[in-house]
Chains A and B, each alone.
Chain A
Amino acid sequence: MTNSSDTFAVNHLDLLEAHAIFILREVVAECERPVLLFSGGKDSAVLLHLAIKAFAPQQLPFPVMHVDTGHNFPEVLEYRDMMVAKYGLKLVVASVQEAIDKGRVADPGPLGMRNRLQTTALLDAINDHKFDAAFGGARRDEDKARAKERVLSFRDAFGQWDPRQQRPELWQLYQGKVNAGEHLRAFPLSDWTELDIWKYIQRENVPLPTIYFAHNRPVVHRDGMWLAVGEFVHPRHGEVVERHTVRFRTVGDASCTGAVRSGAETVEAIIAEIQVTNVSERGATRADDKFSETAMEDRKREGYF
């Protein structure tokens, strides 16, 4: 029987979760060979968690892909391998080092930034494996170009995004048909904010790499950010190595991902901290977004995540 005039209150995180699961199932049903982009960052951790839920009790019906810049935080690689073992995932590694060795991209040098080079490695892997859909953990609140992107974002045979020619995407009717050689990027977390992600991590106990939590490490101050001194970041002339208690708000290429000074050791403490911060997560932590006014759009047009 239909209930007449029923009104239900519903939890915001439950609706975000349901919508993301709906998108995951829809893309898997409509596309031939999907893949989930798994960087080991918090957004891809949440995305993987949702994907496991969407297809339980079955195994994940697609592989995960790590686009490996070769400049990794060891804690993140450890985490990646732990999650692969835990869920019995099929892992594809798209290696930037391999792209450099094959001469597909120029070597920026041992300490050079490799963020932009990921695009070539990613598109080559999509081509080689004939993937027609790639799930990503990108969120619209991250950047002004991402704020413009559809949930299902069409890429042409060259992997390019054309922001002037996006498909209309009405209601929750996701239309994922592509011709051979083209592919989709699918963003189930489009409507999530950074705070939603952390509240969901808290509610669901989603495991994360340890570098998300406050720890003490040597850092140098460069371009307004704290960079972790290690294999891929050496102090430049005039820079002083200091020890600080820091955590990472995002996880990217180790040579260009900055840490924030923070004593937040738990998810609860991180939530309290981001509720009062004055700086956006990418503004605080990503040198790659600081090249130009439209750095993200320019990279996305070429095929970046």
Chain B
Amino acid sequence: MTTVTSDLLRFATVGSVDDGKSTLIGRLLVDTRQLFDDQLDAVAEASAKRGVGDLDLSFITDGLRAEREQGITIDVAYRYAATPTRKFVIADCPGHVQYTRNMATGASTADVALVVLDATKGLKEQTRRHLCIAALLGVRHVIVAANKMDVCDWDQTVYQAVVDQVHSVVDRLGYRDATVIPVSALKGDNVVERSLYATWYEGPTVLEALEAAPAGSWATSSTGARLPVQWVLRQLGGGRTYAGMVNGATFNLGDEVTLLPQGVATTVRAIHGPSGDLPAAIPGLSIDLDVADDTDAGRGDLFATAPLPQVTKEFDATVCWFSDHALSSGTRLRLKHTTRSTPVMVKSLSGTMDVETLSVVESSQLALNEIGLVHLVTADPLVVDDYRDNRVTGSFVLIDERSNATVAAGMIGHADFL
């Protein structure tokens, strides 16, 4: 298992529309003093102009004109914050089912999902859908804000009902932990400041939970080192090196590596980093690799250390479908995996996921925003790992050849809960 840790936690807000995700992020940013005076002034002015009170906290991340007019989030807003303990990259995602693709975008790089739900309304279908997608994307830690507790007068039975509902879903989806926090984002209870009303609650605030959550879990991997070749660099005085970003595990000088799909074995002669030569390159670094033997490696090929990935033209995968035109057996698309693109055909669709029951049901079509299990056949061989073992070599996107739109997110293999 390789883990790259940093003092940086990436988290995404997930949950249904109107449950208060953007308001919670606004509250978190205001109460930890992340906003500049002019930014706060601008939010106050915009709130007054639209008659939504002194300071509509959701306007801090809902920055688009249409978002403020409609009072919903349309696309992910990325915000950067720092407390004395750690740095945060926040992806504030939309809750509306129409913008599920944007939620998946925000959650795809998250270490932790911050689930926001309206405690008085319980766990809605859209929240279950988001929890499914986040689980498929490999998020393993959730912090749940049971929001709007002020509306039910901090009734502990309401909170307990949320805890029970949340656990029935997250345990099934394979999440490792789920902290449920009674919150009022609007009033600022248990976000940064401890609530004076939830006297029966002894757990962490949202900020405390975020500061304690494991950072860097996104890049955790159990495969060997991988370098998908992006670009070939000609060196002065002859020779070539292979540029790309390391994933999986560390490359060391002298490592035996295999060039795939060719299957040519060689060794690492030098590792050029952005500021000079390195003895080793950890996951996440952009390097160029010099190998001992002449190879004909090019873009789309991959250098790997053992255990080696699979070279294949056929595989099972889980896809989240983002197009209005349904996918079915026989659909032809383009696939981008690491640095390689190839024509692809859907050989079969073995089922779609029922978000309500969390079970797979038979279906001949995969409609917009549905999750499906497919068997794909590619024109060119791909060098793949299972998504659970490596998020880089295990992921792909599907592209509509005519419009060039990205129509699906794909993960090689199936999650345990499917």
Contact with A along B379-413 (1 / 0, CB 8 A): 00000000000011001110100011110010000
- A55 B1 Cβ-Cβ under 8 A: no
Which size class do A's interface residues fall under?
Answer: 35 or more
Task: Find residues 167-190 in chain A having any chain B CB closer than 8 Å to their own CB.
Answer: 167-173, 175, 177-179, 190
Q: Is A166 interfacial (CB-CB < 8 Å)?
A: yes
Q: A145 → chain B, closest Cβ, in Å?
A: 6
- B37 A278 Cβ-Cβ under 8 A: yes
Which size class do B's interface residues fall under?
Answer: 35 or more
Contact of A2 among B39, B80, B307, B322 (CB under 8 A): B307
| CA of A198 to CA of B37, assembled, Å | 21
Q: A189 → chain B, closest Cβ, in Å?
A: 12
How many residue pairs bridge A and B at CB < 8 Å? 201
- A25 B230 Cβ-Cβ under 8 A: yes
- Measured CB to CB, the nearest residue on chain A to B225 is A2
Chain A interface, >50% SS class: loop
Question: Given A168-B322, A277-B36, is A17 in contact with B6 using a C-beta cutoff of 8 Å?
Answer: no
| CA of A6 to CA of B216, assembled, Å | 13
- Measured CB to CB, the nearest residue on chain B to A56 is B233
- B2 A147 Cβ-Cβ under 8 A: no
Report B-chain residues with C-beta under 8 Å of the C-beta of A280.
36, 38-39
Q: Is B415 interfacial (CB-CB < 8 Å)?
A: no
Most A-side CB within 10 Å, residue of B235, B245, B396: B245
Question: Given A10-B282, A297-B63, is A193 in contact with B36 using a C-beta cutoff of 8 Å?
Answer: no
Most B-side CB within 10 Å, residue of A178, A191, A293: A293
- A173 B395 Cβ-Cβ under 8 A: yes
- Measured CB to CB, the nearest residue on chain A to B41 is A283
| CA of A17 to CA of B286, assembled, Å | 8
- Measured CB to CB, the nearest residue on chain B to A5 is B1
Q: Is A238 interfacial (CB-CB < 8 Å)?
A: no
Report A-chain residues with C-beta under 8 Å of the C-beta of B225.
2
Question: Given A1-B306, A6-B249, A283-B39, is A169 in contact with B105 using a C-beta cutoff of 8 Å?
Answer: yes
Task: Find residues 258-286 in chain A having any chain B CB closer than 8 Å to their own CB.
Answer: 277-280, 283-284
- Measured CB to CB, the nearest residue on chain A to B300 is A29
- A7 B5 Cβ-Cβ under 8 A: yes
Q: Is B149 interfacial (CB-CB < 8 Å)?
A: no
- A53 B4 Cβ-Cβ under 8 A: no
Task: Find residues 1-52 in chain A having any chain B CB closer than 8 Å to their own CB.
Answer: 1-12, 14-15, 17-19, 21-22, 25-26, 28-29
Q: Is B253 interfacial (CB-CB < 8 Å)?
A: no
- B104 A170 Cβ-Cβ under 8 A: yes
Task: Find residues 81-138 in chain B having any chain A CB closer than 8 Å to their own CB.
Answer: 87, 89, 101-102, 104-105, 108-109, 137
Question: Given A25-B231, A167-B405, A280-B39, is A54 in contact with B46 using a C-beta cutoff of 8 Å?
Answer: no
Report B-chain residues with C-beta under 8 Å of the C-beta of A167.
405-406
Contact of A55 among B64, B76, B233, B391 (CB under 8 A): B233
| CA of A12 to CA of B76, assembled, Å | 23
- B105 A7 Cβ-Cβ under 8 A: no
- Measured CB to CB, the nearest residue on chain A to B322 is A168
Contact of B8 among A12, A55, A166 (CB under 8 A): A12
Report B-chain residues with C-beta under 8 Å of the C-beta of A10.
4-6, 282, 284
- A29 B230 Cβ-Cβ under 8 A: yes
Q: B394 → chain A, closest Cβ, in Å?
A: 10
Q: Is B79 interfacial (CB-CB < 8 Å)?
A: yes
Question: Given A164-B74, A193-B80, A279-B36, is A17 in contact with B274 using a C-beta cutoff of 8 Å?
Answer: yes
Contact with A along B206-235 (1 / 0, CB 8 A): 000000000000000001110000110111
Contact of B336 among A12, A15, A173 (CB under 8 A): A173
- A168 B399 Cβ-Cβ under 8 A: no
| CA of A187 to CA of B263, assembled, Å | 35
- B101 A2 Cβ-Cβ under 8 A: no
Most A-side CB within 10 Å, residue of B4, B42, B78, B89: B78
Q: Is A63 interfacial (CB-CB < 8 Å)?
A: no
- A4 B1 Cβ-Cβ under 8 A: yes
Q: B199 → chain A, closest Cβ, in Å?
A: 36
Report A-chain residues with C-beta under 8 Å of the C-beta of B63.
143-145, 147-148, 294, 297
- Measured CB to CB, the nearest residue on chain B to A144 is B63
| CA of A99 to CA of B337, assembled, Å | 42
Q: Is B176 interfacial (CB-CB < 8 Å)?
A: no
Q: B131 → chain A, closest Cβ, in Å?
A: 17
Report A-chain residues with C-beta under 8 Å of the C-beta of B1.
4-6
Report B-chain residues with C-beta under 8 Å of the C-beta of A144.
60-61, 63-64, 77
Q: B24 → chain A, closest Cβ, in Å?
A: 16
- A18 B36 Cβ-Cβ under 8 A: no
Q: Is B146 interfacial (CB-CB < 8 Å)?
A: no
Question: Given A147-B77, A148-B75, A175-B406, is A8 in contact with B104 using a C-beta cutoff of 8 Å?
Answer: no
| CA of A56 to CA of B274, assembled, Å | 9
Report A-chain residues with C-beta under 8 Å of the C-beta of B77.
144, 147-148
| CA of A276 to CA of B282, assembled, Å | 34
- A171 B108 Cβ-Cβ under 8 A: yes
Q: B50 → chain A, closest Cβ, in Å?
A: 9
Report A-chain residues with C-beta under 8 Å of the C-beta of B235.
57
Q: Is B52 interfacial (CB-CB < 8 Å)?
A: no
| CA of A29 to CA of B244, assembled, Å | 11
Report B-chain residues with C-beta under 8 Å of the C-beta of A235.
none
| CA of A11 to CA of B230, assembled, Å | 23
**Could you list 12 A-B pairs, sorted by A, with CB under 8 Å?**
A9-B4, A12-B6, A14-B285, A15-B285, A18-B285, A53-B275, A167-B406, A168-B322, A171-B392, A171-B395, A279-B36, A293-B46
Instruction: Give me the interface of B with A, judged by CB distance under 8 Å.
Output: 1-8, 36-39, 42, 45-46, 49, 60-61, 63-66, 68, 74-80, 87, 89, 101-102, 104-105, 108-109, 137, 223-225, 230-231, 233-236, 243-245, 249-250, 274-275, 282-286, 299, 305-307, 322, 334, 336-339, 391-392, 395-397, 399, 403-406, 409
Name 10 extra pairs, CB < 8 A, besides A148-B63, A168-B101, A279-B37: A3-B2, A9-B5, A12-B6, A21-B274, A29-B339, A168-B102, A172-B109, A191-B89, A278-B37, A298-B65
Instruction: Give me the interface of A with B, judged by CB distance under 8 Å.
Output: 1-12, 14-15, 17-19, 21-22, 25-26, 28-29, 53-58, 140-141, 143-145, 147-148, 150, 163-164, 166-173, 175, 177-179, 190-191, 193, 277-280, 283-284, 293-294, 297-298
Across the A-B interface, give the 7 residue pairs with the lowest CB-CB distance, nearest first: A144-B63, A283-B38, A170-B108, A18-B286, A21-B286, A280-B36, A177-B404
